[in-house]
Chains A and B, each alone.
Chain A
Amino acid sequence: MSVDSKTVKKIASLARIHMDDAEVEALVPELNNILGWVEQLGEVDVSGVEPMTAVIPNTLRMRDDIVDADPLTAGGVRDKVLANAPVAEHGFFGVPKVIE
């Protein structure tokens, strides 16, 4: 698998990253280099081997259904949430008008 400049431009646009043509041209061989390494990994026969999701065997931890149990992941922090917003009015974020 490899990418051309058109694909790179599309990915950049989907990720909302601006790139000029020179940057795109520079990135094409870089990305293809990475894809080449990944393809090389594909040469190893892993049939019958379970995919590994973590180096240390671990299970997903879950939380109890309790509101604001841990202050670090609790609500009620509107000022903090809005602190970095370029525009905040009446408790809302203000963004350029997006309407269908």
Chain B
Amino acid sequence: MTESTYRIQGATGDWEVVIGLEVHAQITSNAKLFSGASTEFGAEPNTQVSLVDAAMPGMLPVPNQECVRQAVRTGLALNAEIHKYSRFDRKNYFYADLPQGYQISQLYHPIVGEGVIEVALDEKDPDSEVRQIGVERIHIEQDAGKLMHDQHPTMSYVDLNRSGVALMEIVSRPDMRSPVEAGAYVKKLRSILRYVGSCDGNMEQGSMRADVNVSVRKPGEEFGTRTETKNVNSVRFVQQVIEIEANRQVDVLEAGGEIVQETRLYDPDRNETRSMRSKEDAHDYRYFPDPDLLPLELTDDFIADCKASLPELPDAKRKRYESELGLTAYNAAVLTAEAETARAFEVLLKETAAKQGKADTEVATQVANWSLSIAPGVQKALEVTADHENNTPAANAAILAMVSGGSVSGGQAKEIYEIVLKTGRDAEEIADTEGLKQTSDTGAIEAEIEKILETNADKVEQYKAGKDKLFGFFVGQTMKAMKGKANPQIVNELLRKKLD
């Protein structure tokens, strides 16, 4: 079964699932959307709350220009239409985490219009299917505070540190048809946001959360009634919500029931969704333009500056790695999936090329293989992460240069790297003092070969008579005599010359 035909098998036949996602991404900024209070995560409760965020009477919101800039840059990264005229509206509801009694959002005139995200169903498989998922809009809004229910037997505690932090709500079209597709969309969106630097994409800390809209229909029929499951905070949970909710809806429909358009809540412990009855009036937000805020008008210069500040984005980078650097499609896809991986790769690439006096293209494959499989393997064995202080580009480049020059074998490179990570010592010094070098001294190797051929004259005869397999024996004997430190390429060459 391919993903394009993901179906729920019901008693009355197959059902198709239709998914739309509203992703709330916290905009990376120092200060909040409408106040000067800090956005730093993890501070003592209510210490990052200004009188604006606490909705004290008479306080007026003044938008943070950086938040506007990041929303525009995000829109541009999704090839979306930027609205030079947008404005803020009040979304009215009462909840203990919302001191204003309304959220400042943008309903009628969002800052960003239609865009598109190209999603590969498996980003690490270059041959996997690619979909265009439509983005309907992006708007800017305030985050609410945080409620804690387990600290007191009869009360909930309210921390307003998050109140007023800027969010982008990125609303997709109902273009997704399977949990895998929705998961790939969230991952790709997160990757783009991290490249752009407009959101750190940290789902554990709640910097990115999704409202998951799900409906089911018989293939080819009209859209069914949808439900919205709120605040889902991981890719895995998004996929689970879709599965459970789609199956629940099929069960309801096949039992002759109807789907109610409602807000639901996901309970990861029980792996179920349930109705949030308290939000019955939730769609009665009585939006109206916020009289405290004038329309937000963007100049062409501002938008042009935003555009000029965008980095190379993952799709473009992936294509360039293949076409210019000659990397395999797989390596290019894996290296570009996360901004940090690509950044580290490019730093090491520059360093390596400079160290070896070669062009980027000549060392790109060596650096890619080292970065993607060899180095991570050693790091994993030592239980350190790539950001370890001894894992410097200079040290890595020094090791790669020795491998290229033939003075160090692949195995020795790993051993040297291990010592570098553990001690921070100089890679070249380690190779010298720890004897982690192979010799390319043809004279020394040749002398050993002479001896081996003499003592094994019988085997030389057999080899010459056609017993090809014995070649390996001679290689082994030579390596042994050289205590494993001979450059195998040179050993091979010399043996061929003597024997053939």
Contacts and interface: CB of A to CB of B under 8 A. Distances in A.
Do A and B pair up? The answer is yes
Interface of A: 10, 13-14, 16, 53-54, 58-70, 72-78, 80-82, 87, 89-100
Nearest to A62: B65
Contacts of A58: 294
Q: How large is the interface on B (under 10, 10 to 19, 20 to 34, 35 or more residues)?
A: 35 or more
Contacts, number: 147
A99 B149 contact: yes
Classify the interface of chain A: helix, strand, loop or mixed.
Answer: loop
B47 A75 contact: yes
B46 A63 contact: no
Interface of B: 29-31, 35-38, 44-54, 59, 62-68, 92, 94-96, 147-149, 151-152, 154-160, 265, 276, 278, 281, 284, 286, 293-297
A73 B154 contact: no
A89 B152 contact: yes
Contact of A75 (B37, B62, B147, B149): B37
Contacts of B54: 81
A62 B30 contact: no
Contacts of B62: 61-63, 73
B50 A74 contact: yes
B309 to A, nearest CB: 14
B185 to A, nearest CB: 27
A80 B157 CA distance: 17
Contacts of B294: 53-54, 58-60
Classify the interface of chain B: helix, strand, loop or mixed.
Answer: loop
Contacts of A16: 94
Contact of B38 (A13, A14, A67, A94): A67
A100 B276 contact: yes
Nearest to B157: A92
Nearest to B279: A100
A75 B95 contact: no
A8 B255 CA distance: 39
A63 B152 CA distance: 39
Given A67-B38, A75-B36, A92-B45, 7 more contacts: A65-B31, A65-B65, A75-B47, A78-B46, A81-B46, A82-B46, A92-B151
B155 A62 contact: no
16 contacts: A14-B92, A60-B63, A62-B62, A63-B31, A64-B64, A65-B30, A65-B67, A66-B36, A67-B38, A68-B31, A76-B48, A78-B45, A89-B157, A91-B47, A93-B96, A95-B158
A67 B154 CA distance: 35
B158 A73 contact: no
B29 A72 contact: no
Contacts of A94: 152, 155-158
B157 A90 contact: yes
Most chain A CB within a 10 A radius of its CB, from B36, B47, B67? B36
A77 B51 CA distance: 8
A87 B284 CA distance: 30
Contacts of A54: 294
B478 to A, nearest CB: 66
B265 to A, nearest CB: 5
Given A67-B31, A92-B148, A75 B48 contact: yes
A95 B46 CA distance: 15
Contacts of B64: 62-65
Given A54-B294, A60-B293, A61-B62, A76 B158 contact: no
A97 B148 CA distance: 9
A87 B155 contact: yes
Contacts of A62: 62-65, 68
Which 8 pairs between the two chains have the least Cβ-Cβ distance? A75-B37, A65-B66, A92-B157, A93-B158, A62-B65, A60-B294, A75-B48, A91-B45
A95 B156 contact: yes
B47 A76 contact: yes
Nearest to B149: A99
Contact of A70 (B36, B65, B66, B265): B36
A2 to B, nearest CB: 17
Contacts of A10: 284
